[in-house]
């Protein structure tokens, strides 16, 4: 059986974003584990336009090369850690747009949420949980939240308090087994379709 694969998605494409620092910290912490493989996924690398597919994502009829490349990347993982900023009490438009591009590729996967913002990004994470529920993504309870006031120097340099590492470890302890368990759900669905 192949290793569980978890994508750490940088949920901002904004110039000067701090999310990449947070995501790299998550990756650094996660790499000490032996129960899964982790990969950084930068939305900026995919340069997705505002949703431009004529067919709803649930139809799975992707027309554009950028959508097909994104679908392939999303599909390659068993679970995700979403690193989301909080913009106007919600997640970023770039992350919501990227999520909306595909559908089946998200289904029956697990996710953890890492948020940051003036209030720790907690409102963005709560909105993201609603979105993920519609996509049949099982988000875990443990959340990691960073305050721009206390976990960043001058609001720009990421300096997380030590206790966050333990919170992330707990989140990964939840995400990895859920991701493995949901793999069997996806496999059962594929067998049912083939029959």
Give the number of domains in the chain. Answer: 1
Calculate Rg over the CA atoms of the chain. 16
Return all residues near 166 (Cβ < 8 A) that are at least 6 apart: none
- CATH number, domain containing residue 106: 3.40.50.360
Which residue, chain included where needed, has tokens 């709803």?
56
Q: With a cut of 90, say whether residue 189 has pLDDT above it.
A: no
- Alpha carbons 134 and 156: distance in angstroms, whole number: 33
Q: Which domain holds residue 127?
A: 5-194
Residue 26 structure tokens: 């998550």
Q: What H or E segment, with its residue span, contains residue 191?
A: helix 163-194
What is the structure's pLDDT at 4? 97
Beta bridge partners of 115: 84, 145
- Alpha carbons 41 and 80: distance in angstroms, whole number: 10
User: Tens digit of pLDDT for each residue in 83-125?
Assistant: 999 999 999 999 999 999 999 999 999 999 999 999 999 999 9
What is the structure's pLDDT at 117? 96
Do strands 152-153 and 157-158 pair parallel, antiparallel, or not at all (unpaired)? Answer: antiparallel
Q: What is the mean pLDDT of residues 3-10?
A: 97
CB–CB of 96/131 below 8 Å?
yes
User: Tens digit of pLDDT for each residue in 156-179?
Assistant: 999 999 999 999 999 999 999 999
Q: With a cut of 90, say whether residue 195 has pLDDT above it.
A: no
């Amino acid at each position: 059986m192949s290793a569980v694969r978890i994508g750490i998605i940088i949920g901002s494409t904004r110039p000067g974003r701090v999310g990449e620092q947070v995501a790299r910290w998550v990756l650094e912490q996660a790499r000490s584990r032996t129960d899964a493989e982790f990969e950084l996924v930068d939305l900026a690398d995919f340069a997705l336009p505002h949703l431009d597919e004529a067919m709803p994502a649930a139809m799975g009829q992707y027309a554009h090369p950028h959508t097909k490349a994104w679908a392939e990347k999303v599909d390659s993982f068993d679970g995700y850690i979403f690193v989301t900023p909080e913009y106007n009490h919600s997640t970023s438009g770039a992350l919501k747009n990227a999520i909306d591009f595909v559908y089946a590729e998200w289904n029956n996967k697990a996710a953890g949420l890492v948020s940051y913002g003036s209030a720790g990004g907690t409102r963005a994470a709560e909105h993201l949980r609603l979105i993920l529920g519609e996509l049949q993504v099982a988000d875990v309870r443990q959340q990691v939240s960073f305050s721009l006031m206390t976990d960043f120097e001058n609001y720009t340099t990421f300096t997380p308090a030590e206790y966050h590492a333990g919170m992330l470890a707990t989140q990964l302890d939840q995400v990895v087994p859920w991701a493995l368990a949901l793999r069997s759900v996806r496999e059962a669905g594929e067998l049912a379709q083939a029959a």
